[in-house]
Amino acid sequence: MSLRLRVAVSFAALLLALLLTVFASSLTSLRHAFDQELQDEVVQLSERVVQGAGGAGFPFSIAPALLVPQVLDTYASPGTFVRVLDADQQVIAASTGPGSFRGPERVSWARGSFARITIDSESYMTYHRRVRVPGVFPYAVLEVGHETRSFDRLLSALTWRVAIVFALGVVAAFMAAWFLAQALLAPLERMTRAAESVDPASLERRLGWSGRSDEVGRLAAAFDAMLDRLALAFERERRFVADASHEMKTPLSAISGNAQLLQRWGDEATPDVRRDSLQAIVRRAREMDRMLREMLALSRAESEAVALRPTNVNAVVRTAVAGWEDQARDRRVELRAQLPEAQIDVEAEPDLLGVALSNLIGNALKFTPAGGAVTVTLVRNAARVVLEVADTGGGIAPEDLPHVFERFYRGRAERHVPGSGVGLAIVQSVAKAHRGSVSVESELGKGSRFRLEIPVS
């Protein structure tokens, strides 16, 4: 069963239940109104009998002269009857209309009571009232009745009319529910068709919902946002594969060439040739490993699923600096950290933050000559935590400054320096993942200063 049909059936069922309630209530009210009118008729008839033939000196009494059918006939009209019963419910006298019959098996002698009875297939509304017949019966029952045929016919006709209206209402309700469900679910059908048409070659398609901002509108917006994230993920994957293919080509070619050289020479290869080839293979393998780790870090930093948690930035700085101390010593570059005495905490991903800071330090050491210095500074102001890495290297050419954070960009000064060209791109992606920013100031011959800023909250 389709969703549209389920909605239509559910709506129609609710309306059907409501109509049934109204139908039953209407019939009950009609029947009650008719019964009340019949009861009023027989009560008025009994009042006329008592008032017209009352026994002298006795309230609620009738004269003995009333106990004659011809006299009772004067009170009965077509469709009604009058009779008097004794204490044993035996007929004392009766009008000559519907014939002799016993009334209900029980009669309330204490107060007036109503009952429906059937005489010769005719239904009557009867009313019983205790009276006295002075000098004849100390207690008797005056019973009057009114036929219900005309009322029953009218009630039956009204019932049929209401039933027809009810049936038409059910049909109209189902049709209205069907068209309403179609109108409500039309946006969902459009979204379904759009979702079915999405594939890696058409991720640019969007619903572009222009209707009301109700639940369906929010669903359409969420669907478009999901497509945006999906397109971004596909683009990251495509770019990662393309970058990996591009960057791995050179080291793989070098590894393959040295391996083929060893294979071709075999046992005839001299120790120097074997050593140089193996060293080249190891060096290129390490270069590939480093590039892969950097590209994976870049891909992770560009992901939106970075989980931030309270992080001790002082500890991150100390760890990153310690990782470069040996290389700084080998290069005879002074590496120092300037940290505040108070611990600085910020919402961050400590591993990614450490990678970004390590890349900044490594980049500074790479371009700082022997005798120079690299300084890592940590400060906090009212809104941001600032990590600054300054070096005393040769600086960055003005034409290269706008491009230093682009992936695989290598300026003129870097073309003869080992590296993949993604280190600073990783720093920028980490900054964006932390809702922060990274900037650089540099002057040729005086060095560079990189600032990584992360908002406190």
pLDDT tens by residue, 312-348: 999 999 999 998 998 899 999 999 999 998 999 999 9
CATH code for residues 215-302: 1.10.287.130
Take residue 62 and report the two structure tokens written for it: 């009738």
Q: Which fold has domain 3-97+105-155?
A: Beta-Lactamase (3.30.450)
In whole angstroms, how far apart are CA 324 and each of 314, 366, 446? 16, 11, 22
Is 383's pLDDT higher than 90?
Answer: no
Q: Taken in order 401, 402, 408, 412, is the CA torsion positive or negative?
A: negative
Kindly report, residue by residue over 393-450, the tens digit of the pLDDT.
Answer: 988 888 888 888 877 666 655 545 555 567 788 888 889 888 899 999 998 888 999 9
The predicted structure's pLDDT at residue 416: 52
Rounded-to-integer distance, Cα 192 and Cα 181, Å: 16
| 64 Cβ contact partners less than 8 Å away, ≥ 6 residues apart | 55, 133, 134, 135, 136
Where residue 110 falls among pLDDT bands split at 50, 70, 90? very low
Rounded Cα distance, 422 and 242, in Å: 14
Pick the CATH number of 309-455 from 3.30.565.10, 3.30.465.10, 3.30.70.260, 3.40.50.300: 3.30.565.10
Cα(232)–Cα(283) distance, rounded to whole angstroms? 34
pLDDT tier at 102, thresholds 50, 70, 90: very low
- Helix (H) or strand (E) holding 301, with range, is helix 271-302
Q: Indicate the domain borders of the chain.
A: 3-97+105-155, 215-302, 309-455
On average, the pLDDT of the chain sits at 78
Structure tokens of 331? 């290069």
pLDDT digits (tens, 9 = 90+) for 44-74: 777 777 665 554 444 455 667 667 777 777 7
Strands 373-380 and 334-338, by their bridges, are parallel
3-state helix, strand, coil in the chain (%, to 5): 55, 20, 30
Q: Contact, 437 vs 453, CB < 8 A?
A: yes
**pTM of the prediction?**
0.47
